[in-house]
A and B are shown apart, each in its own frame.
Chain A
Amino acid sequence: MNRLTSMTVSVLSALLRAKEISSVELTNAFLHRIASHDTEIGAYLTVCAEDALRTAKQIDDRRMGGEVLPALAGIPMALKDNLCTKGIRTTCASKILSSYIPPYNATVYERLRQNGAVLLGKLNMDEFAMGSSTENSAYHLTRNPHDTEYVPGGSSGGSAAAVAANEAAYTLGTDTGGSVRLPASFCGAVGIKPTYGRVSRYGLIAYACSFDQIGVLTKDVRDNALVLQAIAGKDEKDATASLAPVADYGAELGAECCRLRIGVPKEIDLQCHSEEVGQAFQRALFQLEQLGAQLVELPNGIDQNALQAYYILVLAEASCNLARYDGVRYGDRAAHAEDLQSMYAQTRAEGFGDEVKRRILLGTYLLETSQKQRYYDKALCVRQQIKQLFADSFSVCDLIVTPTSPCTAYRFGEKNTDPLQMYHVDRFTVPASLANVPALSVPCGVSAKGLPIGLQLIAPAFREGLLYRIAYAYEQECCHGDI
């Protein structure tokens, strides 16, 4: 049973097609794994055992009836709890949505269902995706499967931990400023944030609309390409979903990497908080050269003022997006309010956690007329400059490489007394988010304590295939996929 849960999607798909295993057998294996391990890991907020087994049985019946099914058919997976699932509680890890049951499915889930995916359940996260460690969930902590004293990263901590702990074959997360890539790095998974618009956001509960993007977390690069292929593409329900055709990502795996020019921001390894991360990064650069890539130094870096601009814009957008949770339209209402105004204030004060309240209040402040020019307008300018910096960089290189995070996973409580210190963990991931370009984290080493280290690859818009090409070659050559 445990052997099955540790296999990749590609291997499981082959076994299912050959009818060597059934989807019911596979789903049961994952449900047993969740039952035996998730009390310790805490990746799940909701487990849908009955629904999962019912879907698995339907897939098995179709296969036994001779139907040729897609590669993902019958494979158990799980979704971050900010993706709407019809009839299944969707909380965003917040008390204010503790009883919210969506009447419709997110487009990504609908597409996976059409591909025969089996939904095991909904995964823990930082409340409304606000955090980098999953310590901000209103329900419980999620622990890093590599060492349960350490955080799994965030905000898609449940999504990364479920993959690393073999509690799902693959998962979806969401990435606003690094929320797929960072937990992928901390848990030794492969995580991609696609280009803004590559994947429909319909049914994703909004945090910061101009940044939010749904991403994929898997055990290896091949699986990641397979799942992104299934969910990418235009969607009439999302006006920001691109009409650009989706490339054949599978065709990029194994393609030649010789002569690819890889940009390295100047002195980026010196910005790492951990010497081990800097060393792993230098080793990865050497390995990329061995693969035939040509390294190009980017003297201007990619992150000038990025972290400040990112937090200003994200907080401003969040303060607007979360205004809708008022106890009237959504969520649990405060029981003993005296009037409408106090009902709003009490509902929101009781329903939101501290980090969410802090961000809403600061976001509101940044949008006040007296402050807007000083902060918000300037941050928009910086965002435009960063987009230009990426455009300039991509005129001299094909890809950009950085560490995913300046540090490895840290202990619970180590950074949450100082939010600003926590925000600095995002410093390498936010530039790609500001520029709306795709980025992928692939494992590139392990610290002395056994904690995974991630390498981030960044490509021009809609060049996810290029990310997969180099990440696959790197993974095959350097064997970090089995961390």
Chain B
Amino acid sequence: MDEHTPDFDKLAKLANIDPANTDGRLSQYFDAMLRFFDGMDAVGRNAPEDFDVALPMREDTVRAETTREELLCGAKTVADGCITVPLVMEDL
């Protein structure tokens, strides 16, 4: 298998989604999207190495007080104000 060919079984396990239960055109979708993304190469190569991707985060970061009710319902993690930092899946 080519290193850039998606292994859908592995992806399904990582994402907890059965790929058979999608619309059946997953490989065409991946193919089109990855070809589209690869078109980004030209500028990407010239990108600065020390780029800064910091978001406008407040310096005096204050986390919200979580009420017992919210904790019980898990509501804080559905829609709180925090940034979710994407994880590299194999780091898990």
A→B interface (CB under 8 Å)? 84, 100, 102-104, 106, 196-197, 200-206, 209-210, 235-243, 304-305, 308-309, 311-312, 316-317, 319-321, 323-324, 326, 329-330, 341, 344-346, 348-350, 352, 354, 357-358, 360-362, 364-365, 367-372, 374-376, 378-385, 418-420, 436, 461
Chain B interface residue count, CB cutoff 8 Å, equals 63
Cα A465 to Cα B85 in complex, Å, equals 31
Q: Report B47-92 residues with CB < 8 Å from chain A CB.
A: 47-48, 51-53, 55-58, 60-64, 67, 69-70, 73-75, 77-91
Contact with A along B14-45 (1 / 0, CB 8 A): 11111101110010011011001101111110
Write out the residue numbers on chain B whose beta carbons fall within 8 Å of the beta carbon of A202. 64, 79-81
User: Which among B22, B44, B78, B80 has the highest number of chain A CB atoms within 10 Å?
Assistant: B78
B12: A residues at CB distance < 8 A: 345, 361
Q: Is the CB of A384 within 8 A of B30?
A: no
Nearest to A462 among chain B residues (CB) is B56
Question: A237-B80, A239-B63 are known contacts; what are 15 more A-B pairs with Cβ within 8 Å?
Answer: A103-B70, A103-B73, A202-B81, A209-B83, A209-B84, A242-B56, A242-B58, A305-B43, A305-B44, A361-B15, A364-B14, A378-B41, A379-B40, A419-B29, A420-B36
Q: Is the CB of B37 within 8 A of A375?
A: yes
Cα–Cα distance between A375 and B62 once the two chains are bound (Å): 33
Q: Roughly how many angstroms separate A354 CA and B25 CA in the complex, as a whole number?
A: 10
Expressed in whole angstroms, the Cα–Cα distance for A418 and B29 within the complex equals: 8
Please, which residues of chain A bring their CB within 8 A of the CB of B40? 305, 308-309, 312, 378-379, 382
Q: Once bound together, how far apart are the Cα atoms of A376 and B60, in whole Å? A: 29
CB distance from A59 to the nearest CB of B (A): 27
- A369 & B90 in contact (Cβ 8 Å cutoff): yes
Indicate whether A308 sits within 8 Å of B21 (C-beta atoms), given known contacts A84-B75, A202-B80, A239-B57.
no
- Taking CB atoms, residues of chain A closer than 8 Å to B73 are 102-103
Contacts of B87 in A (CB 8 A): 320, 367
